[in-house]
Amino acid sequence: MIGHLMFWFLMDKIGAAARKEDELRQHPGYGKVRCPSCRGWVLPKELERKGCYLCGWKEGAEPGTARA
């Protein structure tokens, strides 16, 4: 009986962890970094290579002067 309860207790814990993971994946910022200029979520690889696709910020440029 105790074993049975433990099983469902653990299953519940695992299910909660999986739901948490799903929430993280659905988050707009999952796997992304925030652009230091416009605070938008961008892929770190893209930010590094092409700069922010939202505001045009590029690493090394001063925030807010990318389009100058």
Task: Give dist(CA 50, CA 2) in Å, integer.
Answer: 58
Per-residue x/- mask for Zn ion, residues 17 to 56, rule CB under 5 A? ------------------x-xx-x-----------x-xx-
Torsion sign across C-alpha atoms 60, 65, 67, 68: negative
Structure tokens at 46: 């893209």
Amino acid letter, 42: V
Structure tokens at 68: 């100058």
Among 10, 21, 24, 57, binds Zn ion (CB under 5 A): 57
Q: Whole-number minimum distance, CB 50 to Zn ion, in Å?
A: 11
* Of 3 and 63, CB closest to Zn ion: 63
Q: Interface with Zn ion by CB under 5 A: which residues?
A: 35, 37-38, 40, 52, 54-55, 57
